[in-house]
Amino acid sequence: MADSRAANEAALNGTKPHDIPQTTALKDFLALIKVGIVNSNMITTFTGLWLALYFSGKGFISSLDIVLYTLIGSSLIIAGSCAINNYYDRDIDHLMERTKNRPTVTGKVNPVHVLWLGILFTSLGLSILLMTTVTAAFIGLIGVVTYVFLYTMWSKRLYTINTVIGSISGAVPPLIGWAAVEGSLSIVPWVLFLMMFIWQPPHFLALAMKRSEEYKAAKIPMLPSVYGFAITKRQMMVWVVCLLPLPFYLFQLGMPFLILATALNIGWLVLAIYGFKMKDDLKWAKWMFIYSLNYLTIMFVAMVIFTIH
């Protein structure tokens, strides 16, 4: 029955059965929850949590229950939201090279089961976050609603601003981490939120440039596909410029952090400006995408390292 269902689903999506890659159940599961997104968001969630412990003077070991509840709850709501996204987008994912082999496209899993998995994980994650603070759970709910409804089901297929709307959900993890410890939000978590919010448009627009033709085929109105590379480059540069002052609001993390963060920002800005001179747009977009990934990891890991005494 499973092989028959997979063949039928693949046929509906225009995928030939022999084109379906052989994968394990674990690999299919990790693809459904978009484990890469879950892992990257755990870095920013943990950083928000760690800084809340640092500034409040609370011990990490003595707060280990809160740490575990926060990381597990956040992971589940992100994984659940991504599963629902996979369920909803299965009608267009087969049109894009990077998404055509998702289990919801190939028919290796029942789409209804994926939907219920997403609902279960999201509900369980919010319940676990309630074991920390109501504020953390509420912020998590905002992230879910923004990603599932405002981004996936509404703006993604209608407006080029979908990247900005989706950035809201991607920026809430450090707020969740902080709120799980403190229950209220000060200037520090909001700066982390802004860093994540502003980082995402140039990051995803670089990817959209690389996959411009695929987005056109799927009729997803990404900025490079609709208005071209020139205006996309200008917008990416503006977003990067907006990152420049943010590290200075975190002066309490010390001068070494400020120097590193500023160097990262200037390096990204230089690369963004170089895009106006470079003739190979796709190669430049690849560089921007790789830089953005390293930027995020180094920036948030550095916040933790520079506060370890």
User: Which tokens go with 210?
Assistant: 């690389």
Q: Are residues 121 and 211 in the same domain?
A: no
pLDDT score at 3: 43
Res 104: pLDDT = 87
Domain boundary among 183, 207, 224: 183
Whether residues 140 and 287 share a domain: the answer is no
In a shared domain, residues 113 and 101: yes
Are 90 and 124 in a shared domain?
A: yes
Tally of domains in the chain: 2
Residue whose entry in the numeric block shows the structure tokens 């799927």: 218
Whether residue 178 is found in the same domain as residue 205: no
Residue 215: which domain range?
186-309
Supply the pLDDT for residue 228.
Answer: 92
| CATH number of the domain bearing residue 116 | 1.10.357.140
Whole-number Å distance between alpha carbons of 262 and 298: 12
Q: How many angstroms separate the CA atoms of 154 and 158, rounded?
A: 7
pLDDT of residue 242: 97
Asked whether the beta carbons of 147 and 85 are under 8 A apart, the reply is yes
176 and 233 co-located in one domain: no
Q: What pLDDT does 168 receive?
A: 95
Q: Are residues 177 and 197 in the same domain?
A: no
Rounded distance between C-alpha atoms, residue 5 and residue 17, angstroms: 11
Residues 212 and 105 occupy one common structural domain: no
**Res 7: pLDDT:** 42
State the pLDDT at residue 101: 85
* Contacts of residue 234, Cβ cutoff 8 Å, sequence gap at least 6: none
Q: Which two tokens stand for residue 23?
A: 């994968």
- So what's the pLDDT on residue 241? 97
| Amino acid sitting at position 172 | V
Q: Are 176 and 196 found together in one domain? A: no
Instruction: Specify whether 162 is located in the same domain as 204.
Output: no
pLDDT tens by residue, 123-150: 999 999 999 999 999 999 999 999 999 9
Asked if residue 145 and residue 174 are part of one domain, the reply reads yes
Q: What is the 3-state secondary structure (H, E, C) of the chain?
A: CHHHHHHHHHHHCCCCHHHCCCCCHHHHHHHHCCHHHHHHHHHHHHHHHHHHHHHHCCCCCCCHHHHHHHHHHHHHHHHHHHHHHHHHCHHHHCCCCCCCCCHHHHCCCCHHHHHHHHHHHHHHHHHHHCCCCHHHHHHHHHHHHHHHHHHHCCHHHCCCCHHHHHHHHHHCHHHHHHHHHHCCCCHHHHHHHHHHHHHHHHHHHHHHHHCHHHHHHCCCCCHHHHHCHHHHHHHHHHHHHHHCCHHHHHHHHCHHHHHHHHHHHHHHHHHHHHCCCCCCHHHHHHHHHHHHHHHHHHHHHHHHHCCCC
Domain boundary among 183, 213, 235: 183
Domain C-terminal end among 137, 154, 183: 183
Low-confidence ranges of the chain (pLDDT < 70): 1-21, 309
**What is the CATH classification number for the domain harbouring 260?**
1.20.120
pTM: 0.90
Instruction: Note whether 82 and 168 are same-domain residues.
Output: yes
